Amino acid sequence: MKRIALYDTTLRDGCQSEDVSFTLEDKLRVAEKLDDFGIAYIEGGWPGSNPRDEEFFSAVKKLHLKHARIAAFGSTRRANIAAAEDFNIRLLLKAETPVVTIVGKTWDLHVRDDLRISKKANLEVIADSIAYLKKRVDEVYFDAEHFFDGYRANPEYALECLVAAAQAGADILVLCDTCGGRMPEEILAGLRAAAQAVTVPLGIHCHNDCEMAVANSLAGVEGGAVQVQGTINGFGERCGNANLCSVVPNLQLKLGYQCVSASQLKQLAELSRFVYELANIEPHKRQAYVGVSAFAHKGGLHVAAVQKNRETYEHIDPDLIGNSQRVLVSDLSGRSNVLYKAKQFGLDVESSDPAVKTILDDVKRLENAGFQYEGADGSFELLMQKALNGQVRHFRLIGFRVIDEKRKEDEPPLSEATIMVEGPDGAVEHTAAQGNGPVNALDRALRKALTKFYPQLEKVVLHDYKVRVLGGDGGTGATVRVLIESGDEQDRWGTVGVSPNVIEASWQALVDSIEYKLYKDKKPSAISHQRSARRD
Place 534 in a pLDDT band, splitting at 50, 70 and 90: very low
CA distance 22 to 215: 28
What is the 3-class SS of 147-201, one letter each residue?
HHHHHHHCHHHHHHHHHHHHHHCCCEEEEEECCCCCCHHHHHHHHHHHHHHCCCC
Q: Report whether 333 contacts 363 (CB < 8 A).
A: yes
Q: Report helix, strand or coil for 113.
A: helix
pLDDT given at position 330: 67
Nearest to 417 by CA among 431, 428, 402, 399: 402
CA distance 91 to 95: 6
Choose the CATH number for 5-256 among 3.30.70.20, 3.30.200.20, 3.20.20.70, 3.40.50.720: 3.20.20.70
CA distance 355 to 365: 15
Place 146 in a pLDDT band, splitting at 50, 70 and 90: very high
- Return the percentage of the chain with pLDDT > 90, whole number: 71
Which range has the top average pLDDT, 252-261, 334-343, 450-459?
Answer: 252-261
- DSSP letter assigned to residue 351: T
* Res 389 pLDDT > 70: yes
CB count within 10 Å of CB 459 equals 12
pLDDT given at position 472: 62
Please compute the mean of the pLDDT values over residues 444-456 and round it to a whole number: 94
What single-letter amino acid sits at 5? A
Q: Please state, rounded to an integer, the average pLDDT across all residues of the chain.
A: 91
Please compute the mean of the pLDDT values over residues 383-411 and round it to a whole number: 89
pLDDT given at position 473: 66
Lowest mean pLDDT among 64-68, 131-135, 203-207: 64-68
Place 440 in a pLDDT band, splitting at 50, 70 and 90: very high
> Considering only the top CATH level, what class is 354-394+458-536?
alpha beta
Question: Domain map of the chain by residue range?
Answer: 5-256, 354-394+458-536, 402-453
Please compute the mean of the pLDDT values over residues 136-157 and round it to a whole number: 98
> What is the distance in angstroms between the CA of the first residue and the CA of the last residue of the chain?
60
Tens digit of pLDDT for each residue in 89-122? 999 999 999 999 999 999 999 999 999 999 999 9
pLDDT given at position 151: 98
pLDDT given at position 335: 74
Four-residue CA torsion sign, 357, 361, 362, 367: positive
pLDDT given at position 65: 95
Query: Can you say whether residue 346 is alpha, beta or left, with left for phi > 0 and alpha for psi between -120 and 50 degrees?
Result: left
Place 531 in a pLDDT band, splitting at 50, 70 and 90: very low
Place 529 in a pLDDT band, splitting at 50, 70 and 90: very low
Q: How far is Cα of residue 187 from the mean position of the Cα atoms in its chain? A: 27
Place 533 in a pLDDT band, splitting at 50, 70 and 90: very low
Q: What is the pTM of this model?
A: 0.73
CA distance 270 to 258: 20
* Res 153 pLDDT > 60: yes
Q: Report helix, strand or coil for 491.
A: coil
